A = this chain, B = another copy of it.
């Protein structure tokens, strides 16, 4: 094959190239999180394209979480928030019609890994946060919605205590789909709330004592409890989407 006479010409639309150019500057650290990107007019001048084109490129980066607008709507680079990206992944999981069995199995793996990390590396501040959450949980043990929210927070704090950001990120999409069901379960199972708080108490205690075995054991029990409760009201093999739809429907009645 002879050397081609012409180089492959760029085929990407201009708005994409604008987005890529800004992305490169952020990824390789030339623009640091928090620093301003400039006004749309400045970008128009720098890239030599129309403002509409610049704005389309901005939308791409904004959705990707790489840039955001500050209080005065000016553009600035930012650290992509796990949470926002995880929300998109959760949505993708719903569309792929994953089942609660898949969700449960993966969450079991990730929560056990979280507690192991927390037992090894939790700081006093992590412990204080978890203790604070536990106290608030104990106070709302009869309120399924409030307790569900605090349960989700407890597990976020546990992942944070593991000091492993990759783990924090990996568990988030599943957790976003998994934990909302806590409300359904706690509300439907007598003593469910008390058992939940009790499990949290033992987990926190194990983390504080650096007792990995106990931490893992109580985390497993905690999730098995969830599973038993869930199976009383729905099937593990139904898709997440269908289960939520039905619950929303039942709640409206």
Contacts and interface: CB of A to CB of B under 8 A. Distances in A.
Interface residues of A, number: 46
A165 B102 CA distance: 7
A52 B53 CA distance: 9
Contacts of A166: 93, 98, 102-103, 105-106, 173-174
Given A63-B60, A93-B166, A113 B106 contact: yes
A26 B95 CA distance: 9
Interface in A48-64: 52, 55-56, 59-60, 62-64
Most buried by B among A59, A79, A110: A59
A59 B95 CA distance: 20
A14 interface: no
A15 interface: yes
A80 interface: yes
A144 interface: no
Interface string A108-128: 011001000100000000000
- Report how many copies the assembly holds: 2
A66 B56 CA distance: 17
Contacts of A63: 59-60, 63-64
A170 B108 CA distance: 13
**Interface pairs A-B: 3 shortest CB-CB:** A80-B92, A59-B59, A63-B63
26 contacts: A52-B55, A55-B56, A56-B59, A59-B60, A63-B63, A64-B88, A65-B88, A79-B95, A80-B88, A80-B95, A82-B89, A85-B88, A92-B169, A93-B166, A93-B169, A98-B165, A98-B166, A102-B164, A102-B165, A102-B166, A105-B113, A105-B164, A105-B166, A105-B167, A106-B167, A106-B170
